[in-house]
Structure 1
């Protein structure tokens, strides 16, 4: 989900790389779970997020839809997001102690927070969103350590590919003749990258690139 705002309004004005130090350390969020509440449908999940959830919770995409995730339109594309529950709109994975119950396999959005991504010229850099985390006295930590993701270089390439593929999908939907065709495109993406499970026996990123190549050919053939 993109935000239409000025960088100066939301960041410290710097771009960060993996080896940079950023003031994001929050003492393991002790006593605070503010960023896990009241997020509405903004915690959009990518295919890797769903793969991690399905693998670690030993369930299918359809099972997650029962009470863990929901579907919403994101820039005209149907995508899943984490579900918020109760009057306080707490993340469904937040336990009674206010701790994340899926921390080891949490989604990418949660891993980088309060960092964000700034996309430009077919790539992205990290920014520090200065108004998002209310925890005081944050400390400096290396960006790569903060994100805490295996195969981080592969992960960055995946994130970039997924972002710009969704751009292509949105462009194709703009060219579509009617709502029926637009819905067909969106459901195709949902089925290929989310509903159809990625094999645990194979590398996720290799499978993703195979599906991405197929999807690009299919969309290009139509438009």
Structure 2
């Protein structure tokens, strides 16, 4: 989670709502993939991100593990991250031409750049990262158009619920000292949230949020 104090150092000092105008449009990137390099520790994948990937590629979550996705510990929580290639630190979803093979279904964090999210009071705002995109003279664009998420309100609700869920699980794990118990909790997390089976005709958000209380109960969090 980004803090307001930290944001002053990395942003233009403003917070944006979904209907605001921001200088974030890279007008096509023109072949640049600089933001897809050496970001393995930054791009944490949500269950929705993974659902979009596996549905688009027609594979299972475990088929992407090791090759395209890697599990990294974060405050004892084992979460999927984008895997960088070993030789050049480029994202493993880039093809030989440097183009993203899942661009239409890319993770939320990738979709936002050069924007980011900051959470406050059970809500979030957007901020513009400065100095990270090599493109000059970024153009004005409405945040909603830049983000380009279908069913935005459902997505927003999911993001907030997931943020609160991870925050609660982080607090819960502070009091768990036994490594086997931590391992068991992470197994439940991965099985319940990332290996979730959703029928093609079903709505991800509805199904996930329907089962979230049961998942919380299994993990011992409120």
Summarize deviations over 1:74-93 as a string: whole Å, max 9, x none.
23210111111143211111
Structure 2 residue aligned with 1:70: 70
Distance 2:8 2:195 in 1: 38
Distance 2:86 2:174 in 1: 36
Structure 1 residue aligned with 2:19: 19
When the two structures are superposed, what TM-score results if normalisation uses the length of structure 2? 0.93
Which deviates further from its counterpart, 170-179 or 70-79? 170-179
Structure 2 residue aligned with 1:110: 110
Which deviates further from its counterpart, 9-18 or 85-94? 85-94
Structure 2 residue aligned with 1:43: 43
Structure 1 residue aligned with 2:152: 152
Contact 1:21 1:143 in 2 (8 A): yes
- Consecutive unaligned residues of structure 1, counting only runs of 5 or more, are none
Quote the offset at 1:3 in angstroms: 4.9
When the two structures are superposed, what TM-score results if normalisation uses the length of structure 1? 0.93
Q: How many residues align?
A: 221
CA RMSD of aligned residues (A): 1.7
Distance 1:219 1:56 in 2: 29
Structure 1 residue aligned with 2:33: 33
Superposition pairs of residues 1-223 of structure 1, within 5 angstroms? 2-3=1-2, 6-220=6-220
Runs of 4+ in structure 1 deviating by more than 6 angstroms, as ranges, are none
Distance 1:84 1:168 in 2: 29
- Consecutive unaligned residues of structure 2, counting only runs of 5 or more, are none
Quote the offset at 1:66 in angstroms: 4.1
Assess, with a 3 A threshold, how the Cα gap between structure 1 residues 218 and 72 changes in structure 2: closer, same or farther: same
Distance 2:192 2:43 in 1: 21
Quote the offset at 1:47 in angstroms: 0.3
Distance 1:16 1:192 in 2: 33
Distance 2:201 2:66 in 1: 26
Summarize deviations over 1:39-93 as a string: whole Å, max 9, x none.
1332111001110111110000111114111111123210111111143211111
Contact 1:193 1:211 in 2 (8 A): no
Summarize deviations over 1:141-183 as a string: whole Å, max 9, x none.
0000000110011101111110110011111111224222222
